[in-house]
């Protein structure tokens, strides 16, 4: 799982551990990762969770992250591409090549690279699950977030490509597209009505529900999870 030291990723890590999975969380801030590990272990010391300080915008770190997971637990059964960064607030003409490269490296290139690294062993073992934590920005076309939106549209399409090419090997892929959620990222957009946002735990419950479907179920389209109320963003 990428991310995991905060927000939606931390909530999914807890849900996965509670479902009996052995979990590796990865992010750049080691202290945040350790907080999540300690919190989840305090809930139940039988939970198996480790962390690895990783910057997924660096391709070599994606490789070494998977190696660490394999060394710790064995081959990856579930990959959750959750880590992401924002790139908001400008019309198309004002974004730079640097904005594009920085955002795509984390939000789309890393999920693509991690996916490509874990697929061969999933294929050999006859199954696996790759979940994208995308966004409603990957479904709609919100103004002033073209780069972020394109990365999330791309994540949704990556899930579809995985299905097209690997469904025959019992490899599942799905994209979960939350609306505004009360995490560091969501709150950094200064929504006016905090209580109208989704909670990270709600998004995580859907993530776990999607991952734990029987092998016969194919979630062939992105799942959008919106807030019923106006957060005033
Ligand atoms: N909050 C929302 O309103 C919302 C809505 C729709 C979709 N989403 C998506 O949900 C996902 C999780 O976001 P969140 O809301 O939980 O916000 P968050 O708390 O800011 O989580 C983002 C996570 O990504 C990690 N990350 C960022 N860059 C990274 C890098 N280069 N290498 C490794 N890890 C990196 C961060 O850890 P470090 O900083 O320690 O690296 C952090 O744990 C994102 O993909 C986001 O786009 C969020």
Torsion of CA 150, 176, 184, 23, to 10 degrees: -120
Say what the pLDDT of residue 180 is: 96
Residue to probe by mutation, ligand 1, list 30, 31, 183, most atoms within 8 Å of CB: 183
Q: Mind listing the pLDDT tens digit of every residue in the chain (233 residues)?
A: 999 999 999 999 999 999 999 999 999 999 999 999 999 999 999 999 999 999 999 999 999 999 999 999 999 999 999 999 999 999 999 999 999 999 999 999 999 999 999 999 999 999 999 999 999 999 999 999 999 999 999 999 999 999 999 999 999 999 999 999 999 999 999 988 999 999 999 999 999 999 999 999 999 899 999 999 888 87
In this prediction, residue 220 carries a pLDDT of 84
Fold designation for 7-225:
Rossmann fold (3.40.50)
Residue 231: what pLDDT? Answer: 87
Residue 215 backbone phi and psi in degrees, to 5: -60, -25
DSSP H helical segments within the chain, as ranges? 7-18, 30-43, 59-73, 97-104, 110-125, 146-166, 184-187, 200-211
Pocket of ligand 1 (CB under 6 A): 2-3, 5-9, 26-29, 32, 54-57, 82-85, 106, 133, 135, 178, 180-181, 183-186
Residue 1, token pair as written in the block: 């799982």
């Amino acid at each position: 799982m990428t991310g995991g030291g905060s927000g939606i990723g931390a909530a999914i890590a807890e849900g996965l551990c509670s479902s009996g999975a052995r979990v590796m969380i990865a992010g750049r801030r080691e202290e945040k990762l350790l907080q999540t590990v300690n919190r989840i272990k305090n809930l139940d010391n039988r939970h198996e969770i480790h962390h690895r300080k990783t910057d997924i915008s660096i391709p070599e770190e994606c490789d070494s992250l998977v190696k660490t997971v394999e060394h710790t637990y064995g081959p990856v059964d579930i990959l959750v591409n959750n880590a992401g960064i924002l790139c908001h607030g400008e019309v198309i003409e004002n974004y730079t090549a640097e904005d594009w490269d920085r955002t795509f490296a984390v939000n789309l290139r890393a999920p693509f690279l991690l996916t490509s690294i874990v697929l061969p062993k999933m294929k050999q073992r006859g199954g696996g699950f790759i979940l994208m934590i995308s966004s409603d920005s990957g479904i709609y076309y919100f103004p002033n977030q073209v780069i972020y939106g394109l990365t999330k549209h791309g994540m949704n399409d990556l899930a579809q490509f995985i299905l097209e090419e690997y469904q025959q090997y019992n490899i599942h892929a799905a994209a979960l597209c939350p609306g505004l959620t009360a995490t560091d990222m969501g709150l950094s957009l200064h929504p006016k009505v905090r209580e109208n946002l989704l909670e990270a735990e709600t998004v995580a419950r859907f993530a776990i529900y999607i991952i734990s479907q029987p092998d016969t179920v194919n979630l062939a389209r992105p799942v959008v999870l919106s807030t019923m109320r106006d957060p005033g963003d």
